[in-house]
Amino acid sequence: MYQYPSHNIRCGLDFLNLKDFTMRKANFIASGVFIAFAIFIITISSQYPPSNHGVPGPGMFPIIIASLIIVSAIALVVVTVKSSALKDTQVDLKSKNIINVYITMTGLIIYLVLLPLLGFVSTTFVMLLLYLKWYSKRAWWKCVTISLVFTLAIFFLFGTVLNVPIRFGLLI
């Protein structure tokens, strides 16, 4: 009977070995992801209409932010290369703090999906309320008050003062 070799079959994602996941490796991966994301944003934003009579076009602000993301990611790579202390620091991908990051990212994705469907006020209020209650452990009435005040302040600032139309979705 033929026995298969005992070596592991390797794929192109060997660098993501979670048992051997160090802070150094995490910094390089995060830098690469952020640089790729920023290049994507710059590519999309450069297709927006150009500036008009000295007034910046709609793509200027995203390009500035994406450029700052690239600079920050390069700075992280430089600091990581220069620092020898990060070499052996293990990253626990199941710690409470990391799980909170997963919860936050999942909540933001759900928020972005529901935002155009339900509207800014209702979606933002619920998101802020849930995040405040999860992370601050304050009383419900305080979380409701803070969420309501911030949501309405942002809504009126952008809708009234800055004339940015944010009335969309089923519930505003």
Whole-number pLDDT of residue 87:
63
Whole-number pLDDT of residue 141:
94
Whole-number pLDDT of residue 88:
66
Give the residue from 49, 75, 91 where a domain finishes. 91
Whole-number pLDDT of residue 119:
87
Based on the structure, what is the number of domains in the chain? 2
**127 in the same domain as 69:** no
DSSP code of residue 158: I
Taking the chain (172 residues) in runs of 10, the rounded mean pLDDT of each run is: 49 52 84 96 90 81 94 94 73 80 92 90 93 90 95 89 78 71
**59 in the same domain as 11:** yes
**119 in the same domain as 62:** no
Whole-number pLDDT of residue 171:
72
**123 in the same domain as 98:** yes
Whole-number pLDDT of residue 17:
53
Give the residue from 61, 91, 121 where a domain finishes. 91
**100 in the same domain as 46:** no
